[in-house]
Amino acid sequence: MAVNAKLTRLLLDKWWPGGTGLITGASKTSVKTNLLNDLFATIGEKRYQYNSQSGEMTLFGRPFRVASANDEASWKYIAGSTVGLWIGDEAGNYPQSFFDMASSRMSMPGSRAYLTANPGNPHHYLKKDYIDNPKVKQTGQFWSGHYTLEDNPNVLEVVKEGWRTQYTGVFYLRNILGLWVIADGAIYRDVFTPDLIYTDETRPIDLLSQNGHRERFILCDYGTVNPMVFLDEYDDGRTMWIENEYYWDSKQQMRQKTDSQYADDLIEFIGPCDSFRRPGVILDPSAASFRVELQQRGFFVIDANNEVIEGIRKVSSMMNHKRIRIHERCRHTRREHEAYAWDTKAALRGEEQPIKSNDHTPDALRYGVHTRIGDWDWRLAAAA
pLDDT in tens, 116-166: 998 988 889 999 898 888 888 888 788 888 889 898 888 888 888 888 888
Domain count, the chain: 2
What is the C-alpha separation between 333 and 327, in angstroms, rounded? 9
Tell me which DSSP letter residue 92 carries.
G
CA quadruple 260, 262, 266, 268: dihedral positive or negative? positive
Residue 138 within a domain: no
Tell me: do 204 and 66 sit in the same domain. no
Q: Would you state the pLDDT for residue 232?
A: 98
CA quadruple 9, 12, 17, 20: dihedral positive or negative? negative
Residue 327 pLDDT > 80: yes
Residue 353 within a domain: yes
Tell me: do 210 and 354 sit in the same domain. yes
Contact 86, 114 (CB under 8 A): yes
Residue 22 within a domain: yes
CATH number at residue 108: 3.40.50.300
Look at residues 84, 101, 117 and tell me which one is the last residue of a structural domain. Answer: 117
Smallest CA-to-CA distance from 96 within 139, 121, 118, 129 is with 129
Q: Would you state the pLDDT for residue 276?
A: 67
What percentage of the chain reaches a pLDDT higher than 90? 49
Confidence (pTM): 0.80
Residue 128 within a domain: no
Residue 343 within a domain: yes
Residue 129 within a domain: no
Residue 3 pLDDT > 60: no
Residues in the chain: 384
- CB-based contacts of 76, cutoff 8 Å, min separation 6: none
Q: What region does 18 belong to: left with phi over 0, alpha with psi -120 to 50, or beta? A: left
Tell me: do 372 and 230 sit in the same domain. yes
Residue 147 within a domain: no
Residue 80 pLDDT > 90: no
CATH number at residue 271: 3.30.420.280
Domain boundaries, position 336 = 194-380
- pLDDT tens, residue by residue, 196-243: 999 999 999 999 998 899 999 999 999 988 999 999 999 999 999 999
Residue 370 within a domain: yes
Look at residues 117, 135, 169 and tell me which one is the last residue of a structural domain. Answer: 117
